[in-house]
Amino acid sequence: MPDTSGVPDDSYLRRTVDRETLRFHVQRAIFCPFTHQPLDVRQAVVVTLTSPGGSATTYAIAAAHWDSRKDKVFSRMLAGYTLEVLDGRELFGRRRPSGKPQATQPGKGPSVQPPPMPRTGGPTPQA
């Protein structure tokens, strides 16, 4: 039996693929086609509608626009069509599964102050 201790679980891989898919579509679209606002992966939704024949249409849209329209989209779904939704608020808003290292982004990590340097000679600052 092969050693699988270093292999991430399927949910971690699925989440990584979903994040990169969302990032790809947001980078290609740049702007929401409906609101014309710039897209941010943390506030974007990628919606893929697939027909029974296999052809798919994908939109990267602003999450606020999706929230206002999703009920209408679901109510008008045609029989046999499938809808896949990747929500950046969910994919980028939660922490990674436990046991996986997290990358620290600049400005996001704990603040560490260097120890004070001892003064040797010169004027002392006055309060």
Separation CA 81–CA 78 (nearest Å): 6
Residues 103-120: pLDDT tens digits?
A: 545 555 555 555 666 666
Higher pLDDT among residues 24 and 125, named by residue:
24
pLDDT for 125? 57
Per-residue model confidence as pLDDT tens digits over 2-49:
555 565 668 889 999 999 999 999 999 999 999 999 999 999 999 998
Report the distance separating Cα 43 and Cα 71, nearest Å.
19
Detail the DSSP E strand segments found in 9-55: 44-50
CA nearest neighbour of 24 among 91, 74, 73, 70:
91
pLDDT tens, position by position, 51-105: 888 899 999 999 999 999 888 877 777 778 888 999 999 999 855 444 454 554 5
Q: Which positions ≥6 away from 100 have C-beta within 8 Å?
A: 8, 12
pTM score: 0.63
